Amino acid sequence: MTRLFDLDFQLLHDTVLAAIAVFVLFLFLSYLLFNPVRKMLEDRKMKIKTDLDTAKLDKEDAAALKAEYDAKLKNIEKEGFWMKRKVKVGNVIIGEEGVIPIQSMCSIPFSRFDELKKQSLSLEKEGCDILRFAFPDMASAFGFSKLKDILKIPLVADIHFDYKLALEAIAAGADKIRINPGNIASEHLGDIAKAARNHKIPIRVGVNSGSLEKDILAEYGGVTPDALAKSAYRNVKLLENHDFKDIVVSIKSSDVKTMVEAYRKFYAMTEG
C-alpha cells in the first residue's frame, strides 16, 4: 500500500512538473510569436499618433501662414505699397489692385498641334487668363501664330538660351516672353529688349531653384531665399541696363516658405 502511494505521488509530481514545463514553454513561445505582433501594433499606434500630430502641426502652420498673409494684405490695402508698377500682357493687367491673373502652361508641344489646341481651349474655358507655351525651335512660330488667331487670352512664349527664338516669338505675336537674361549675351539681350519695347510687350524673368547661377549657389551654400532673391535682382538689372522696365518677375521653389521669403527679400531689395 505504501509502495502504491509512493508511485501515485511520484506520478502526480511528474505530471505537475510536466504541466508547469508545458505552461512555461507556452509562455515562452507566446512571447516569441506575439511580441513582434505587439511591437508592430505599438509602432503602428505611434505612427498614427505621429501622423495626427504632424497633421495638426501642418494645420496650425497653414492657419498661422494664412493669418500672416491676411494681416499683410490688410497692410498692403491700407498703405498702398507692393504693386508699384502695372504691366500689361495683352488685355490683362498684372499689378492691378485686387486682381490676381491666373496663368497656366501647356504641356503639349507644337508638333502635336491638334492636341495642344484642345488643351489650350480647355484652359481658356476654365478661366485661365494668361497661357504660356514652350518655344523650343523656329518651327514653333507657326503653331504659336495659329493659336493667336484661335484663343482670346494673351499668350506667352517660354524661351531658353537662344535669343533668335525670342525675336521670332515676338514677331509671331507673343504677348509676353519668358527668358533668363543671364543665359543670353549682353548684345543679344539688347536686341530682345528693343524688340519687346517696340512691340509694347513685357518680359518675364524666370528664376527657380534648379537653375541658380553657380557663383550664387557657392556664395550662399545652396538654394536659399537670399540666393533666389539675388538671382532675380541680378537678372532684372541686366534688362534694366538696356533701358527696359516692363518686367514681370517669377521666383519659384518647391519649398513654399523658401519661395515666399525669397519674394519678400526681393521686394526689400527693389523697394524705392
249 phi, psi to nearest 5 deg: -105, 130
Q: What is the pLDDT of residues 207-260, one digit of tens each?
A: 888 888 889 999 999 999 999 999 999 999 999 999 999 999 999 998 999 999
Cell numbers at 163, concatenated: 535669343
Label residue 33 by pLDDT band (50, 70, 90).
low
More confident residue, 114 or 4: 114
Q: What is the pLDDT of residues 71-108, one digit of tens each?
A: 766 665 555 445 667 899 999 998 877 678 899 999 99
- The amino acid that residue 109 corresponds to is P
pLDDT at 186 over 70: yes
Q: What is the pLDDT of residue 120?
A: 96
Position 17, amino acid: L
- The per-residue pLDDT for 165 is 95
Cα-based distances in Å from 178 to 102, 163, 193, 233, 260: 16, 11, 12, 16, 21
More confident residue, 31 or 205: 205
Can you give the pTM of this predicted structure?
0.68
Quick: pLDDT tens for 111-153: 999 999 999 999 999 999 999 999 999 999 999 999 999 999 9
Q: Model confidence at 48, in pLDDT bands (50, 70, 90)?
A: low
Q: Which three cell numbers stand for residue 18?
A: 510536466
In the prediction, which pLDDT does 76 show? 54
- ∠ CA 214-263-197 to the nearest 5 degrees? 80
Give the DSSP per-residue string, 12-70.
HHHHHHHHHHHHHHHHHHHHHHHHHHHHHHHHHHHHHHHHHHHHHHHHHHHHHHHHHHH
pLDDT of residue 26: 55
For 16-26, the pLDDT digits (tens) are 666 666 656 65
Instruction: Count other Cβ atoms within 10 Å, centred on residue 51.
Output: 10
Which pLDDT does position 127 carry in this prediction?
Answer: 92
